[in-house]
Amino acid sequence: MLAGCGAGGSDAPRQQSAETPRSQRISGPALCARLIARVTGRVRTTGASELSGLVLSREQAGVLWAHNDSGDAPRVLALATDGAVRADLLVPGARNVDWEDIALAPAAAGRGVLYLGDIGDNAAARSQIAVYSTPEPRLRAGGGVLRGATAPAQRLTLRYPDGAHDAETLLVDGATDTLTIVTKAYAGNAGVYVVRRQPSREPVTLRHAATLSLTPGSAITAGDVSADGSAVVLRSYERAYVFRRRGAEPLAHTLRRRPCVAGTDLAGEGQGEALALTSNGRAFYTVPEGGRPAIRRYAPSP
């Protein structure tokens, strides 16, 4: 069972974005204290009723990238934290079979790259899954909604070494240049699978790297790595599990460590399948599925 408090490692952020001012920096495992939830806005479009992925931009302050679940076109939305739509963009070269999570990591040139996890598989029947990547679009400086398309996506086709799995969590780590997929785990054991970020014309086999023992009935529906690399959070419908990372260790090593449980109950949100950490890993945003869903920010009380 996931319980207790994460061990070791410095919590000092290696970088700080405008999202968290210096006066609000908190030492210690902040997310495992009592958290206060604040509704920052509601998503202002009827075209975002099944949001299942969320990530905070590292370079464009106050911008959350999101996408819908299966049934939608292959597109990404940029949302302001108050719910205003900043961009609605198709992703050329991508197909939305069952998009379940979105992540962001820097490229070699420093510009952010969006990763879209087409990894959902409710029936555990897909022989292959896919992760698409495309450079993070630049939004209009003067406001307004950016429409059109992203740059063409690159597709990495993946398969599991031990049969199909349903998964809703994609983690991307620039420090170790890896993609990590965590399976949903209805039966209580979530698998952690990894692969190096790489261009490949042929399907690549994931490597099983760890198993998380969960309370039976728990299901991991989203996750994120903080931009400074210090924290990893996985969420279920009811709670968030916080892992303290040691340096630039592989994420699979971090996830083998016992986490602490964030000091809040997420069950009241509704069907929650999205979570985005702030840059220093000491607050996070969520958005549930449903019409005009509320964006919430969870952080320790001042």
- Would the pLDDT of 98 be above 90? yes
Of the candidate CATH numbers 1.10.1060, 3.30.460, 3.40.190, 2.120.10, the domain formed by 29-300 belongs to 2.120.10
Nearest to residue 224, comparing CAs of 86, 92, 66? Answer: 66
- Would the pLDDT of 188 be above 60? yes
Longest CA span, the chain: 50
Average pLDDT across the chain, whole number: 88
Q: Could you give the CA distance from residue 227 to residue 196 in angstroms, rounded to a whole number?
A: 19
**Could you tell me the residue ranges of all domains in the chain?**
29-300
Q: Could you give the CA distance from residue 132 to residue 76 in angstroms, rounded to a whole number?
A: 12
- What would the mean pLDDT of 170-188 be, rounded to a whole number? 88
> Which pLDDT band, with edges at 50, 70 and 90, does 16 fall under?
very low
- Would the pLDDT of 243 be above 60? yes
Q: Could you give the CA distance from residue 145 to residue 139 in angstroms, rounded to a whole number?
A: 8
Q: Could you give the CA distance from residue 97 to residue 94 in angstroms, rounded to a whole number?
A: 9
- What would the mean pLDDT of 255-283 be, rounded to a whole number? 94
- What would the mean pLDDT of 200-213 be, rounded to a whole number? 93
- Tokens 């969590």, residue located: 169
Contacts of 138 (CB under 8 A, 6+ apart): 60
- What would the mean pLDDT of 208-217 be, rounded to a whole number? 82
> Which pLDDT band, with edges at 50, 70 and 90, does 12 fall under?
very low
Q: Strand 240-244 relative to strand 260-261: parallel, antiparallel, unpaired?
A: antiparallel
The two three-digit tokens of residue 182, written as one number:
């965590």
> Which pLDDT band, with edges at 50, 70 and 90, does 288 fall under?
very high
Q: What is the pLDDT of residue 18?
A: 34
- What would the mean pLDDT of 247-259 be, rounded to a whole number? 92
> Which pLDDT band, with edges at 50, 70 and 90, does 71 fall under?
confident
> Which pLDDT band, with edges at 50, 70 and 90, does 9 fall under?
very low
- Would the pLDDT of 217 be above 80? no
Where is average pLDDT lowest: 58-72, 101-115, 147-161?
101-115
Backbone torsions φ then ψ of 62, nearest 5 degrees: 70, 20
Q: What is the pLDDT of residue 109?
A: 61
Where is average pLDDT lowest: 198-202, 254-258, 273-277, 290-294?
198-202
Asked if 99 and 70 touch (Cβ cutoff 8 Å), the reply is: yes
